Amino acid sequence: MKKTIIAAFMITAMAAAAAGCGGSGGSSQKTAPAENGSGTASQNSGEASEAPASSGEDSYTIGIGQYAVHGSLDNCREGFLQGLAEEGIEEGKNLTVLYENANGDGSTGTQIISNFLSQDVDMVCAIATPMAQTAYGATKRTDVPVIYTAVTDPVIAQLATEDKMPVGNITGTSDKLPVEEQLQMIRQILPDAKTIGIMYSTGEVNSQSTLEEYKEAAPEYGFEIVESGVSGAADIPLAADNLLSQVDCLNNLTDNTVVSSLPIILDKSEDKGIPVFGSEIEQVRIGCLASMGLDYIELGKQTGHMAAQVLKGEKEASEMPYEIIEEASFYGNSAVAESLGITLPEELTGSAAQMFDSIGESNS
């Protein structure tokens, strides 16, 4: 009799444990958006954005995986949701959003995508190159489409072919930097400068690709590029000190590792009176001198429009070439210019997309 009772108890316990594993069906937890994208995957657990009430129309669930916490990627996410809303796909109506941030950790990114797939998402939106690569690898044997944004070079990242066509059920938008326009701007602002320092992560293929573009184009504008590779955020303080001792200015890429530590770099460059040029609006807002850069809200919107076509069944991701935001704009920070004793040329400020007169706080 005792053996029968014990066996029954063990069966009940095993069933309860299996139910708690959070499989793809039943009452598995969904992930809520973190405040400013600052939570890790494990910290973000909770309820998803409120599921839409049934109204007879199609409804969708999208998993948004973001590689790191910084302003440009946050803006991509915001713009992506705005783009979807412009196409009639909106949270609280016909869209449920699962959001998780890897905080720059590749293994966490893998867990995030696996979590999305276990919750039967209709689409994965991958923000930044490492997350896009992870998402593509994880979804290859599924029918879940991937839409990416903020991938600098989809070809180098092996997400697209030379003619911009997808390698699989994946497409999106590139934040390819306007290298020539940036170098021309730096020359206008610093007519006597000779050396530009660029810090990049050796583990991010997008950064290595852009660095090569800068090295190739720099001599045409009378510059020499001094590079410094880092393997992680812990290397940045020392690398910044070494680089700042060798150059007339720094030029920042859209490197996720470096951008996440940009406040540290800005503090060190301010102490030495060396200007730092950004690659997009958020970097200028928090203390870079200027940028001939991209608007990541607009990039996100463009991605949202593409995603809507896939969700509505109008197109397959596998047949859509990736898109590049075409227009680069000037952004300047007059407060930074004043502190450095630099006058920004009127031909740039007069046509600026936005000028900042103070230094804002980083979201990192």
Measured in whole angstroms, the distance separating CA 252 from the mean position of its chain's CA atoms is 15
**Domains detected in the chain:** 29-175+297-324 (3.40.50.2300), 179-293+328-356 (3.40.50.2300)
For the cut 70, the answer to whether the pLDDT of residue 252 exceeds it is yes
What pLDDT, on a 0 to 100 scale, did the predictor assign at position 110?
97
Residue-level length of the chain: 364
Q: What is the CA radius of gyration of the chain?
A: 23
Instruction: Give the pLDDT mean for 39-65.
Output: 61
Residue 363, CA atoms < 13 Å, CB-side half-sphere: 19
Q: 213 pLDDT band (50/70/90 cuts)?
A: very high
Instruction: Give the pLDDT mean for 237-262.
Output: 95
What pLDDT, on a 0 to 100 scale, did the predictor assign at position 326?
73
pTM tops 0.85:
no
Of the candidates 252, 190, 256, 177, the one whose C-alpha atom is nearest the C-alpha of residue 221 is: 190
C-alpha dihedral sign at 259, 138, 171, 229 = positive
Instruction: Give the pLDDT mean for 317-322.
Output: 98
Helix (H) or strand (E) holding 126: strand 123-127
Alpha helix (H) residue ranges in the chain: 2-19, 71-86, 106-118, 129-139, 179-189, 205-217, 236-244, 256-260, 262-272, 281-285, 296-311, 334-340, 346-349
